[in-house]
């Protein structure tokens, strides 16, 4: 899971056409609503949580645990609310601007849930893009992160999905998404390495094909922290 940044940023300089970038992009999950009609089945979660409590040797009838299944059910409904929302809608509204320099929003904080352990991972996302006539409201970028993060997933896919959404909806000349997060499945269990940070990046268009453009955005993201 711990991948150094250098490994996730493709370094091929040959493809300067800037057109071939969308072909390898997996589709962003557009499906809103799930098998049960889009509603979280709270009762089902409650029953499952009760089962877990019994399975680990607890007594779900003891006072402190009586409301726990219902509480956990509401918690999961909140943590996974992004499954019933389409992040794309936040990018449907954009401004037509002649601005064609980089736009970067740094340190968009988020909480998400690792799909392998159902444990939280949290951190921040940095989103940069090179507009080509379409500029999104800055808060909309944060909204996209918010919706996408409220799903069970892995950080790599989350990073890729945000980049694909921006590339598709804004038709940007380049998109750069860097996500840094601490995974509690690495800090409180298993290998137990507190302080470890997982960094993933997705580079599209000019940020992928043009080394100096990519250096510029990485400098903007990390510059003063070095
Ligand atoms: Zn995990």
DSSP one-letter string for the chain? ----HHHHS----S-TTS-GGGTTPPPP----S-TTTT---HHHHHHHHHHHHHHTT--TTSGGGTTHHHHHHHHHHHHTGGGGS-GGGGGS-EEE----S-EEEEEEEEEEEETTTTEEEEEEEEEEEE-SSEEE-HHHHHHHHHHHHSSEE-HHHHHHHHHHHHHHHH--SEEEEEEEEEEHHHHTSTT--TT--EEEEEEEEHHHH-HHHHHHHHHHHHGGG-
Give pLDDT, residue 148: 97
Give pLDDT, residue 34: 47
- From the CA of 152, how far away is ligand 1's center (Å)? 10
Give pLDDT, residue 99: 84
Give pLDDT, residue 97: 81
- From the CA of 111, how far away is ligand 1's center (Å)? 13
Whole-structure pTM value: 0.81
Give pLDDT, residue 72: 98
Enumerate residues 6+ apart whose C-beta is below 8 A from 140: 90, 91, 93
- From the CA of 97, how far away is ligand 1's center (Å)? 41
Q: Is 168 a catalytic residue?
A: no
Per this entry, what is the length of the chain?
226
- From the CA of 185, how far away is ligand 1's center (Å)? 5
Considering the candidates 90, 169, 183, 198, report the single residue annotated as catalytic. 183
- From the CA of 43, how far away is ligand 1's center (Å)? 26
The two tokens of residue 154 are 């892995």
* β-pair type (174-183, 119-130): antiparallel
Q: Is 198 a catalytic residue?
A: no
- From the CA of 159, how far away is ligand 1's center (Å)? 16
Considering the candidates 124, 156, 168, 185, report the single residue annotated as catalytic. 185
Considering the candidates 85, 117, 124, 156, report the single residue annotated as catalytic. 117
CB 170 within 8 A of CB 131: yes
Q: Is 124 a catalytic residue?
A: no
Considering the candidates 46, 90, 114, 161, report the single residue annotated as catalytic. 114
- From the CA of 189, how far away is ligand 1's center (Å)? 9
- In order of their start, the domains of the chain are 5-17+93-225 (3.30.1130.10), 42-79 (1.10.286.10)
* Chain-centroid distance, C-alpha 121: 10
**Residue of 38, 39, 145, 54 lying closest to 91 (CA atoms):** 145
Looking up tokens 């219902």 gives: 70
Q: Is 21 a catalytic residue?
A: no
Each residue's pLDDT tens digit in the chain (226 positions)? Answer: 444 443 333 333 333 333 333 333 444 555 454 445 578 999 999 999 999 999 999 999 999 999 999 999 999 999 999 999 999 999 988 888 888 899 999 999 999 999 999 999 999 999 999 999 889 988 999 999 999 999 999 999 999 999 999 999 999 999 999 999 999 999 988 888 888 899 999 999 999 999 999 999 999 999 866 5
């Amino acid at each position: 899971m711990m991948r150094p940044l250098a490994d996730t940023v493709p370094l091929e300089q040959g493809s300067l056409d800037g057109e071939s970038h969308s072909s390898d992009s997996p589709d962003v999950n557009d499906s809103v609503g799930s098998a049960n009609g889009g509603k979280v089945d709270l009762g089902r979660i409650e029953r499952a949580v009760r089962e877990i409590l019994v399975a680990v040797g607890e007594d779900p009838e003891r006072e402190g645990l009586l409301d726990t299944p219902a509480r956990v059910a509401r918690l999961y409904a909140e943590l996974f609310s992004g499954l019933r929302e389409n992040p794309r809608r936040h990018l449907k509204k954009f401004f037509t601007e002649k601005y064609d320099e980089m736009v970067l929003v740094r340190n968009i904080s988020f909480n998400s849930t690792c799909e392998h352990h159902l444990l939280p991972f949290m951190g921040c996302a940095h989103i940069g893009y090179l507009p080509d006539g379409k500029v999104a409201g800055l808060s909309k970028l944060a909204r996209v992160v918010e919706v996408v993060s409220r799903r069970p997933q892995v950080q790599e896919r989350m990073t890729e999905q945000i980049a694909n959404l921006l590339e598709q909806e804004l038709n940007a000349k380049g998109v750069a998404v860097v996500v840094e997060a601490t995974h509690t499945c690495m800090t409180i269990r298993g290998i137990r390495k507190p302080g470890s940070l997982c960094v993933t990046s997705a580079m599209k268009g000019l940020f992928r094909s043009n080394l100096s453009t990519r250096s510029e955005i990485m400098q903007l993201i990390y510059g003063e922290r070095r």
